[in-house]
Amino acid sequence: MNQPLPFGAGHTGRPAPSDLTEIMGKVARGDKQAFSALYDALAPMVFGIVLRVVRDRAQSEEVAQEVMIDLWRQAARYRSDSGSVTAWAATIAHRRAVDRVRSAQAAIDREHAQAVRDHRTAYDDVAEQVETRLESEQVRRCLRGLTELQRQAVTLAYYQGLTYREVAETLRTPLPTIKTRMRDGLIRLRDCMGVTT
């Protein structure tokens, strides 16, 4: 097979439509010389169609090559009663170019969606950490507003998981006093934190 011409460098004397139909018949039978002639006749037109749709020269050259390979592979499907070889090639070129644009757009959309998900996740993590830190600071501030016995009893019960009885034993304070101090302390914490019941 002859070396194909670069895109955009076609022959000045193009074959007549009837000649292209005959050439296409030979291509369908696997004639490489006929495909070379077909390539020379159609590649510039195919590239022009693809470039108008894709708008990127490098990608257009790639898509145009794919179209020419399609013409080689699908030559047996061509029917002259359905239109000219040029129209058939133009249709394939346009479809391939549109597919490339859609594929590229879908990839961009997927990347954008992933970036949005990543950004949202990072934002949510930061917001959650800030919220937790603010709540912790508020709890510490509210705990400082309790009496010493209330603060100790609440800390032992809620941060160390001790029962009322264990808190009373740890602080060497009567159980009823611990229950009263904890109840009063929790009411003050609730009010300080702005929790409504």
Q: Which two tokens stand for residue 126?
A: 């930061």
- The per-residue pLDDT for 14 is 65
Provide mean pLDDT across the span 106-126. 76
Taking the C-alpha atoms of residue 96 and residue 169, their distance in angstroms, rounded to an integer, is: 82
Taking the C-alpha atoms of residue 92 and residue 155, their distance in angstroms, rounded to an integer, is: 76
Q: Tally the C-alpha atoms within 13 A of residue 59's C-alpha that lie toward its C-beta.
A: 15
Q: Which two tokens stand for residue 138?
A: 């508020």
- The per-residue pLDDT for 121 is 58
Please answer whether residues 35 and 1 qualify as being in contact, where contact means their C-beta atoms are separated by less than 8 angstroms: yes
- The per-residue pLDDT for 114 is 85
pTM: 0.53
Provide the b/e sequence for 50-84 (b: ≥16 CB within 10 Å): bbebbeeeebbbebbbbbbebbbeebeebeeeeee
- The per-residue pLDDT for 190 is 85
- Is residue 11's pLDDT more than 90? no
Q: Which two tokens stand for residue 71?
A: 């013409």
Task: Name the residue with higher pLDDT: 117 or 99.
Answer: 99
Q: Which two tokens stand for residue 70?
A: 């399609």
Rounded-to-5 percentages of helix, strand, coil across the chain: 80, 0, 20
- Is residue 183's pLDDT more than 60? yes
Q: What is the pLDDT of residues 53-80, one digit of tens each?
A: 999 999 999 999 999 999 999 999 999 8
Q: What is the pLDDT of residues 21-54, one digit of tens each?
A: 999 999 999 999 999 999 999 999 999 999 999 9
- The per-residue pLDDT for 141 is 86
pLDDT band, residue 13 (cuts 50/70/90): low
Provide mean pLDDT across the span 11-24. 76
Q: What is the pLDDT of residues 134-152, one digit of tens each?
A: 777 888 888 888 888 888 8
Taking the C-alpha atoms of residue 8 and residue 80, their distance in angstroms, rounded to an integer, is: 26
Q: Which two tokens stand for residue 177?
A: 């006093």
Task: Name the residue with higher pLDDT: 12 or 147.
Answer: 147
Q: Which two tokens stand for residue 169?
A: 């034993």
Taking the C-alpha atoms of residue 133 and residue 159, their distance in angstroms, rounded to an integer, is: 17
